[in-house]
Amino acid sequence: MKNTYTVVTTAICPKDNKTVDTYSVKVQVRRTLMVEEILEAIAYIKSLGPIYQENFTAQLSIRLQAKVTTVGVHSCVETKVVCKA
């Protein structure tokens, strides 16, 4: 069994502490994962303050013990980060 969960979220960019970045987040696991667990993990990471996409992806992957892919756009450049805990 392979499950994929997709959500869109925002985070504050630490470069200027005010730019709001939007990320498409894909979580892949080989077990059932409650969507509330995903949303709580995202909220917790965002509560820590401004964060770079790379760090956000890594932290979410670790917290959920899952493969996490994020796609965002920064200054007209699309960025894709993949992390597997």
Strand duo 20-29 + 3-12: pairing: antiparallel
Q: Give pLDDT, residue 75.
A: 80
Domain boundary assignment for the chain:
3-84
> Residue 2: pLDDT above 90?
yes
**Cα 80 from Cα 58, distance rounded (Å):** 12
Are 13 and 19 a contacting pair, CB within 8 Å? yes
Q: Does an H or E element contain 57, and which?
A: helix 53-64
Q: Which residue has the tokens 């820590």?
A: 48
13-30, pLDDT tens digit by residue?
888 888 889 999 999 999
- The pTM for the full model equals 0.93
What is the DSSP code (8-state) at residue 49?
Answer: -
